[in-house]
Amino acid sequence: MKLHFSTKSFPRSLTVRQIYICSRVLASLFSTKAQTQPYRPSSSSPRVLALYRRIERVRDPKASVAPVLEKWVSEGNTVQKEQLQFLVRRMKCYRRFNHALEISHWMTDRRYLPLSPIDTAVRLDLINRIYGSVHAETYFKKLSDKLKTYHVYGALLIGYVQENYVQKAEAIMQEMREKGMATSSFPYNILINLYAKTGDLKKIDILVQQMETSGIPQDKYTMRNLMATCVAVSDISEMERILNQIEENPRLGLDWEVYSIAASGYLKFGSIDKALTKLRKMEGMMMTSKRKTVVFNFLLTQYAETGKKDELYRVWKTYKPLIESRDTAFGCMIASLSKLDDIEGAEKIFEEWESQCTVYNFRMLNSLLIAYCKKGLFEKAEAAVEKAAEGRTPYASTWSVLAMGYKEYNQMSKAVEMLKRALISRNGWKPNPTTLTACLNYLEAQGDAEGMEEIIKSLKRSELLTRDIYHRLVRTYIAAGKSVTEVLDQMKIHDFVADEETHKILEAKPSL
């Protein structure tokens, strides 16, 4: 199949929705191709479920789950390898990557269970997600040749694609070809995803031609990637051609995700009626899907994008009683109603969730706070946080939402206050760069050395200090008439030797 994309029409960067489409396809590739069927505890394995529930209660991603595992064993319980594999994958599924990696290490370091190539691929993927591809690359190089299988190469390739490292990804692909590992659509699908994100559409054509020449059939992931690329470049006619091809050939995997991508394309193009047609087809497939909650969340999000509030409520009322009710569904509904400026509706959904939740999840509150901040309803937002904080500790992200909201409305003193609360609420938390910069700019303009010092003290604990931040502090000290000797000493301690810019700042005030 020859594609004819116009590079002139390709955007410099994808929208959030388009990136999400690509990431979903990439995630499905790895979960399907690079893993065996995951262990699923049945109702006859209550002990495994009990251990999972204990680990699930550890909400802080920085907190260790090892004590939970050790206590479980000390109580006389046993853990089999497939059970630990299930826990790793379940934590990964819920994006609790630190806990997934910790369980993976506990499996080998404390239970002395050997890693299979599949386990190794999962661990490499987790290392990449947490620490980046450089660390994943180091881990890969230390592996024995026996463990460097197709799955592990694929995990490394995915890591490079996630960080848009084109040359490294292409080098790994070439190595896979040389080792006879590029005989399926899997690595080609990953590279198509990469080129869709970077806008190198000619290379997508080349990859498709290489697949045809090598006799590698296009599968459902290939087709989804190509459809997502068409959406990115607004080539609706080509998207429709591929969709028709999928509908005519069941082997190419006609499912709800295909219609979700098509609906996204029509929404981008402004064809609301066509988007609604595809969304209704998604509805028809939802109840037969093994991932009903995921489909439900997509439907809520995409119906909100149509602007049809009645349709959104219809889907919510019709299908919510029929699926497993999860926090994510409530969060999607709150966010969707916020998008449609239905604050009252969002409040009611939040109250419904709050009345039935067994574990308070501040992410649900964050969804409502975003709606409030969007409308400048800060009194309501702070009142909601104050109520939720009774006997609980808000997430750093909760204060961060308020900080971003105040920044958007140029209420910078309140933005600084909320940023400070976020920074002290959890060590290692990384603030939103735009919010941090705006707050530092404000403090510098105000000559507020004490306020800036307070933020910098928190950033030290998180190892987020930069030379620019120190330069801001130097300028603020100078403006306040304070000695900068102590600041310069701190810079040296953190390996920021005074450079040309530092001396320029100091020379602006010769008396200092």
pLDDT of 30 higher than 70: no
Would you list the domain boundaries of the chain? 325-394, 397-512
Question: What is the band of 506 on the pLDDT scale with cuts at 50, 70, 90?
Answer: confident
Distance CA 344, CA 330 (A): 15
* Residue of higher predicted confidence among 129 and 35: 129
pLDDT in tens, 439-478: 999 999 999 989 988 998 888 766 678 888 889 889 998 8
Distance CA 510, CA 239 (A): 65
pTM: 0.76
pLDDT in tens, 237-256: 999 999 999 999 978 889 99
Q: Compute CA distances 375 → 304, 378, 401, whole Å.
A: 18, 8, 13
DSSP 307-331: T-HHHHHHHHHHHGGGS---HHHHH
The domain made up of 397-512 is a member of CATH 1.25.40: yes
For the four alpha carbons of 289, 290, 296 and 301, in that order, the dihedral sign comes to negative
Q: What pLDDT score does 2 carry?
A: 53
